[in-house]
Amino acid sequence: MLFASVNCLGHKKQAPGKKLFGIAVNEASGEDFDVAFGKAKELGINFTTLAINWDDVERSKGKFNPEPNFLAIANQYYPANELPVALELNPIDTVKRRVPKDLSGIEFDDPGFVERYKAFLDWSFTQIPDLQLVSLTIGNEIDVYLGTDPLKWEQFRRFYSQVAAHAKTLRPGLKVGSKITLNGLTDLKEYAGPLNSETDVVLTTYYHLGGDFKVMKPETISTVFNDLVELYPDREIYFLEIGYPSGKLCGSSEQNQARFISEVFKGWDKHDDHIKVLNFTWLTDISPHSADNYEGYYGIDNKSFREFLSTIGLRTNSGKPKQALEILKTELEQRKMLK
């Protein structure tokens, strides 16, 4: 969740149509973001991500006053580092509606709701005139919130259709979609399919886990990639989150996590005509305090879930590289992607 050349006279071009590799950058304990970001840049990331929830920006009706203003910060930071961004402007974030309080009881396809989100888009794009965009995500892991309610899915689809069209008037050529978990794409295809028929790209998140947050064998990621490409054979697919924990409570280890990295690159090589974007979550294991916050946000009290959150990074929270980070360097080097 992170923060491309500067020309204030016109819209930025979209990011080039090559394979894009990223890492969700977060700091180690006592580390400055610039230092962590520098380590990711050394690995050769050629895009990054930035997630903004609507209610963090529009704090009261028509009043856009985020604190801090991450969009404005991104507009300064990432163009200077010549890095494009996959941007999220979320009315849904996995388990929660993230909309202004006065819209809490309003359906997604209500005309007033649609116009308010368009205004949010308008304001947001005034903050990022110099920021090159890989894509725009409207809603993060929306399937978790929408569930199996066909009416909610149809209301969101109608909302999406209108606001995505508006976004493209603000940034011509912009690729727009909604992020759906990979399990949602496959298990809820009767709902996800109609929505994705209107998107420019298939956006997804994936963590290689079975029941109770226990890991699956790293080698089986190839089947996951195969099945998804078979489901969307004519579409570009962006993995905007992908990861694998190293924690024992998840049935894993540093060796398993490293093997997963290698298997992901094998699968990417096989399907690079479909899978265009891959973003690993996270650079660094989060702190116990951050794990507490995530548990509260998701409402999950489960030791394996906490272990998953706390060990999914490529470095420990102290900043020590795990085996996965070393394997990642090797895989990038072999493909001449390492800067």
Specify the length of the chain in residues.
339
Place of tokens 């909604």: 178
Torsion sign (Cα): 48, 144, 246, 268: negative
Query: CB–CB of 215/224 below 8 Å?
Result: no
- Let me know if domain 20-334 sits in CATH 3.20.20.80: yes
CA distance 322 to 333: 17
In the block, which residue shows the tokens 């969101």?
156
Predicted local distance difference test score (pLDDT) of residue 339: 52
Residue 62 and residue 64: Cα distance in Å, rounded?
Answer: 6
Query: How are strands ordered across the β-sheet holding 133-137?
Result: 48-53, 85-90, 133-137, 176-177
Query: Alpha-carbon torsion 209, 211, 216, 222, what sign?
Result: negative
In the block, tokens 């916050």 appear at 293
| Calpha distance 129→325 (Å, rounded) | 34
Rounded to whole angstroms, how far apart are CA atoms 78 and 128? 10
DSSP lists the bridge partners of residue 209 as 215
Buried b / exposed e along 266-303 (16+ C-beta atoms within 10 A): ebbeebeebbbbbbbbbbbbbeeeebeeeeeeeeeeee
* Whether the Cβ atoms of residue 279 and residue 240 lie closer than 8 Å to each other: yes
Q: Can you give the pLDDT at residue 233?
A: 97
For position 2, what pLDDT does the model report? 31
The pTM of the full predicted model, rounded to 2 decimals, is 0.94
- 11-46 burial, b for 16+ CB within 10 Å, e for fewer? ebebbeeebbbbbbbbbbeebeeeebbebbbebbbb
Distance CA 308, CA 285 (A): 10
The tens-digit pLDDT sequence of the chain (339 residues) is 332 222 222 334 444 457 899 999 999 999 999 999 999 999 999 999 999 999 999 999 999 999 999 999 999 999 999 999 999 999 999 999 999 999 999 999 999 999 999 999 999 999 999 999 999 999 999 999 999 999 999 999 999 999 999 999 999 999 999 999 999 999 999 999 999 999 999 999 999 999 899 999 999 999 999 999 999 999 999 999 999 999 999 999 999 999 999 999 999 999 999 999 999 999 999 999 999 999 999 999 999 999 999 999 999 999 999 999 999 999 999 987 755
25 neighbors 48 (Cβ within 8 angstroms): yes
| Count of Cβ atoms closer than 10 Å to residue 220 Cβ | 12
140 close to 103: Cβ distance less than 8 angstroms: no
